[in-house]
Structure 1
Amino acid sequence: MNIDHEVKLLVEEIQRLGETNASGQMSVKFGVLFSDDRCANIFEALVGTLRAAKRRKVVNYEGELLLQGVHDNVEIVLLQA
């Protein structure tokens, strides 16, 4: 899969699993995304897809690298759909 396609799929999964935050933006916790069975089947490297989406300013989150367990409560905010 190419990166643009994976980023598009990531946006769809954030919309499916996320909730609207106080700022009116869609967001989801990293742990929710990471532990979702459908996401596990779609993304070979979820963290890599998230980093690519962040570089493209599609999503935003604190830090550079997200790790399961340690960063489960980090909010991933969808900047553009």
Structure 2
Amino acid sequence: MIATLSSCAQLERDNISFRLQSGRKRYIEKGRKLGRKVGSVKTAEQMKAEYREVISLLRKGYSIRDVAKLSGKGVSIVQRVKRLLKVQSPQ
């Protein structure tokens, strides 16, 4: 009985996957695009230029929450900038 239910569930998942793929295919065939808009993702240089204040506070040793409060930016932005700094200058 469990085997029958699991095979029905698998069949349903396959059907859902097929419908999603065919819908995406039709959407693209109509000339529409999927994904992020061009230019919506910032490069490392753009982020450095935009968040200079955050970078300077992080380099002075302030905590992420303190930097967020002092700069008026969100905690997630500060974390993203900090991660960017670690990737570009590994110690």
Is the pair's TM-score, using the shorter chain for normalization, greater than 0.5? no
User: Larger Rg: 1 or 2?
Assistant: 2
Q: Could you say which structure has the higher helix fraction?
A: 2
- TM-score by length of structure 2 reads 0.35
- TM-score by length of structure 1 reads 0.38
Structure number with higher relative contact order (C-alpha < 8 Å, ≥ 6 residues apart) = 1
